[in-house]
Amino acid sequence: MPLHSLDPQLILYLRWNIAKVRHRVWCHDLQRLSHVTDLALIQEARLEHAMHQVMPDACWAFAPGYRRQNLTTGVLTISRAETVDHFPHSHREPFTRLPKAALVTEYRLLGSPHTLLVANVHAINFTPGTGHFHRQLLSVAHRIAHHRGPLIVSGDFNTWRNKRQRILDELIRELGLTAIEYEHDHRRLAFGFALDHIFYRGLTHRQSRVDRVQTSDHNPITAVLATV
């Protein structure tokens, strides 16, 4: 059974785009990375595969993105604690018309009057400009901007050009968030820009790591966070 609350003194965090589980042994990597995790934020999660084997006693929240007859992928947030509330977002790629999903979830914190808000984002990718990308991020920012407790925003932001990165940086500044930095940065790059990010507010960053894997074209990030 899920816990009632997360321990604010130690939040073990995982963020990974698992690339629609195209690689056979993806589950071994995900189980290895998540077995002591409190929060796991997955992009391109595919529900038809053995996702239920990962953190089976946890609480799941899912926002669907791409769908066809035997395939549903989207963003998945798994937590050791009960989900107080969840808010799915869906925005379509302008060329392909395929949806990209984002999900905001909320959790109680042990001994605290405040809750933790967590945004799991898979950003729009193929656009002629940045308008659709910007609007998607703004919709998530509007949902979380007035939250008074701790806040985590992370995902695959598809920041593969300077203008996209600047838009993200501006929103992060407006929200008062801090970016996690990495001593050994093995995040996926496109045109020299990192695609995957974790930002936080009202928390302290104790440590983080980017693991190199062969089971996705993105490398998973793990982090240890705690309340201030």
Question: Which one is predicted more confidently, 133 or 47?
Answer: 133
Does a structural domain hold residue 85?
yes
Does a structural domain hold residue 6?
no
Does a structural domain hold residue 188?
yes
CATH of the domain at 220: 3.60.10.10
Does a structural domain hold residue 3?
no
pLDDT for position 21: 60
Sole residue written with tokens 């203008």: 163
pLDDT tens digits, residue range 86-102? 999 988 888 777 788 99
Please state, rounded to an integer, the average pLDDT across all residues of the chain.
Answer: 91
Q: Say how many domains are in the chain.
A: 1
| Six token digits for residue 179 | 């970016």
pLDDT tens digits, residue range 17-75? 988 666 567 777 888 888 889 999 999 988 765 666 677 789 999 998 777 777 788 99
Does a structural domain hold residue 4?
no
In the chain, % of residues over pLDDT 90: 71
pTM summary value: 0.94
pLDDT for position 48: 61
Does a structural domain hold residue 2?
no
pLDDT for position 94: 80
Q: What is the DSSP letter of 6?
A: B
Q: Which of 94-103, 105-114, 153-162 has the lowest mean pLDDT?
A: 94-103
pLDDT for position 127: 84
pLDDT tens digits, residue range 138-151? 999 999 999 999 99
Does a structural domain hold residue 115?
yes
Does a structural domain hold residue 161?
yes
* Residues of the domain holding 95: 11-227
| Six token digits for residue 215 | 């089971």
pLDDT for position 49: 59
Backbone angles phi, psi at 172, to 5 degrees: -65, -40
Does residue 165 surpass a pLDDT of 60? Answer: yes
pLDDT for position 221: 97
